[in-house]
Structure 1
């Protein structure tokens, strides 16, 4: 039979339990504007009966978070998409500004004024004034092409710098998440859940997702986070990302994962979300496409106009003269994964009438055989036997590669660059 003390103890347990409930409600209200905070509720259960049958009151069994795991995962995924779209859009707006035409500037205006000057010379070819104006408009058009090219290149450089800054931020977030993993594991190993610490960790994870796409893995000692297929955070340990020079895109950088021995390997091609994913897509995709289009326009204009100009005569009676400086394509660029000793030597435009001014890949299936693929169309252009130093001729180009390639080696050729 319960005595008066048992009755008082039961009342006391009820007061304590409801005090905890009131404290939890106050905590919820106080944190209503706290980023990432999840509402908490007190879970009550009957206290263990005295002597197995006499009621002992009530006790707090847990303080439970109200969290929808599915929605939280969706939010993390949306943060990845938002980060990517936002970063990509910011620089695309800048690129749009480069091509924006005004009443007195722009590539389209320069082209129009140049061809108007050409028409005037054709109408009055003996006029030195018209010829001088044409030369000035030609220089102005050249300057405009250079301005556009420099603007696009600067966007790529600015993007590259921002990627490096985000990598530093990611490393800081990874360290904080690993630290919280450790604290949460220790607290919950000896007591109930730590909902406030879990909220703080979730905020950091969402911040990380805004910078790079992640994969979360539940581990016994916390949350594991993979980036680019590599474990960035595992329990209380955080690895690091870094950047290193990209030999295929100098002076730009690859995003790399740092191994425990300090060595690095690129994971750029495995990052598709977050701000870094958007910046990589913009730097190595969108802007490169714009650059290729501008370069091709300049190359085709130079080649076609020079061919027409060569057919005419100067006031001194000379002919076969170029009006614009001839193109000097860059040497074939080796893929940084090549294992052979071959190097790109030169690219020359042997027959301008056959030049497409598109990109090509010279692919080696062995030390003595190659094939050429048009990277724009995907079409096979030619193939044959390779001899070091002997020009590979296709689409009006003579491409010279020296040395011994290995199977799988690739060289990139772009006559418009």
Structure 2
């Protein structure tokens, strides 16, 4: 082999070792970088050449590529786990907030307001002519109406917050789609020019994770980059182009009377395409499900309670329209206690300085008559058909208990999906993350190769110098 060949081999080996050392150094530098994927140099022998004697002799080594260490199946499982984690996390947050609105541990509680109202009715039945008892009953009625209004408004606020989060999630999804398309182009350009695109691929993987949290996706690697599809198969990104963006349209009024939104896809003209199956998982599915499900049901339950309370109390106050007797002996046939039709509008109609005197505690003008007050007090233990054949207090207890149970189940589900996602992330970190012990070993290995290549160059130079001396 010619001395020049030795020098060429040593030079290429030196360059390959230098590149490998750079890759290892970059791994070490990014040991704490979130989402960084370990890179390795793929060393490849240079083509052999034939000598004059017909012997094939190697010509050295080069770095064929700088490759990321990845498990494609694990990456896909991680995206799916992120979808589940974000979905269950959103459900947990919404149902926990709802349970807080209906929480009976807070004061004043709805159950406490109901019992306080019926306690005041009991007191009035014991002293139907008492001014203090009458004023207390009115005060408790106003307190109960206020609690129903407050909780109805709070549920409506939760629904508005869920819809705002829904819109924000769709916006984040579109941002992620744009980043994925841009990075597809950047990666193709870099790799076509022979450059490593590992950092760009990590950024694209982060964008895919963001998108997967909003809606379930499917990914396929192609020569033009990663193709991203929704759960129903609709292509969202193909190469460097966003094929379908997430579109929003109004879908009717919410509990607060303002518009809610529905997500779909936008075609090339920007027209809305309704594809509910595309958003069956992820944050969009969770937020829409709670917004249109549990929150509406909770509001409806409060409305049913308020409507039944208004109907039953007014039936007794007016004696079914026949009229009970107030403190001044007047008829209450046209003097209902409550107004409104639901939890949002319920109110006490008896106002003014003589409001307490207009409560119909009696059915006659006989002194001490408390028949109507007794019937009002007995409402506490009366099962109501419109409430599912339970009492007012039982209905409130069931409503708040169910909300707490739903929130607890949501927390358990969120914890389980979080644990699975963390387990998969740990597996990825073990396989694709940076291990300092391994990198330090590689550092020494490539350093030794670099030193040996440098020594080979020195030897080649010395031999060449000796040959030059002989020639002279």
| TM bucket normalised to smaller | 0.7 to 0.9
| Deviation per residue, 1:203-261 (Å, 9 max, x gap) | 11112222332222334411122235332222111232232211264521112321111
SS in 2 for 1:279: helix
Q: Could you say which residue in structure 2 is the equivalent of 1:327?
A: 341
Q: Could you say which residue in structure 2 is the equivalent of 1:13?
A: 12
Q: Could you say which residue in structure 2 is the equivalent of 1:413?
A: none
Q: Could you say which residue in structure 2 is the equivalent of 1:221?
A: 224
Contact 1:83–1:273 (8 Å) recurs in 2: no
Q: Which of these residues, 300, 322, 337, is aligned with residue 292 of structure 1?
A: 300
Task: Give, in angstroms, the shift of residue 267 of structure 1.
Answer: 4.1
Q: Could you say which residue in structure 2 is the equivalent of 1:233?
A: 237
SS in 2 for 1:244: strand
CA distance 1:107–1:268, shift in 2 (3 Å) = farther
Contact 1:48–1:56 (8 Å) recurs in 2: yes
Task: Give, in angstroms, the shift of residue 269 of structure 1.
Answer: 5.9
Q: Which of these residues, 230, 251, 276, is aligned with residue 246 of structure 1?
A: 251
Q: Distance in 2 between matches of 1:205 and 1:177?
A: 7
Of Structure 1 and Structure 2, the greater strand share is in: 1
Task: Give, in angstroms, the shift of residue 26 of structure 1.
Answer: 0.7
Contact 1:256–1:266 (8 Å) recurs in 2: yes
| Deviation per residue, 1:9-36 (Å, 9 max, x gap) | 1222221221121111011111112222
Q: Distance in 2 between matches of 1:186 and 1:112?
A: 72
Does residue 280 (structure 1) correspond to residue 279 (structure 2)? The answer is no
CA distance 1:173–1:131, shift in 2 (3 Å) = same
| Deviation per residue, 1:267-312 (Å, 9 max, x gap) | 4564243333322222122222222222222223233333344437
Q: Distance in 1 between matches of 2:386 and 2:99?
A: 27
Contact 2:83–2:213 (8 Å) recurs in 1: yes
Task: Give, in angstroms, the shift of residue 192 of structure 1.
Answer: 6.6
The structure having more radius of gyration, on CA atoms, is 2
Task: Give, in angstroms, the shift of residue 93 of structure 1.
Answer: 3.0
Contact 1:117–1:137 (8 Å) recurs in 2: yes
Q: Could you say which residue in structure 1 is the equivalent of 2:359?
A: none
Q: Distance in 2 between matches of 1:98 and 1:144?
A: 11
Q: Could you say which residue in structure 2 is the equivalent of 1:40?
A: 39
| Deviation per residue, 1:355-377 (Å, 9 max, x gap) | 7479xxxxxxxxxxxxxxxxxxx
Task: Give, in angstroms, the shift of residue 39 of structure 1.
Answer: 0.8
Does residue 79 (structure 1) correspond to residue 87 (structure 2)? The answer is no
Task: Give, in angstroms, the shift of residue 174 of structure 1.
Answer: 1.0
CA distance 1:329–1:150, shift in 2 (3 Å) = closer
Higher mean C-alpha displacement, 143-152 vs 306-315? 306-315
Contact 1:299–1:357 (8 Å) recurs in 2: no
Q: Could you say which residue in structure 2 is the equivalent of 1:303?
A: 311
Flag the structure with more relative contact order, 1 or 2, with Cα contacts below 8 A and sequence separation at least 6.
Answer: 2
CA distance 1:234–1:94, shift in 2 (3 Å) = same
Does residue 161 (structure 1) correspond to residue 176 (structure 2)? The answer is no
Q: Distance in 2 between matches of 1:92 and 1:328?
A: 22
Q: Distance in 2 between matches of 1:106 and 1:258?
A: 46
Task: Give, in angstroms, the shift of residue 188 of structure 1.
Answer: 3.0
* TM-score, reference length from structure 1: 0.73
SS in 2 for 1:43: strand
Q: How many equivalent residue pairs? A: 335
Q: Could you say which residue in structure 1 is the equivalent of 2:69?
A: 66
Task: Give, in angstroms, the shift of residue 185 of structure 1.
Answer: 2.1
Q: CA RMSD in A?
A: 2.8
Q: Distance in 1 between matches of 2:62 and 2:126?
A: 101
Of Structure 1 and Structure 2, the greater helix share is in: 2
Q: Could you say which residue in structure 1 is the equivalent of 2:265?
A: 257
Q: Where does structure 2 lack aligned partners over 5 or more consecutive residues?
A: 345-382, 389-472
Q: Could you say which residue in structure 1 is the equivalent of 2:357?
A: none
Q: Could you say which residue in structure 1 is the equivalent of 2:201?
A: 198
| Deviation per residue, 1:154-173 (Å, 9 max, x gap) | 01111211222222222122
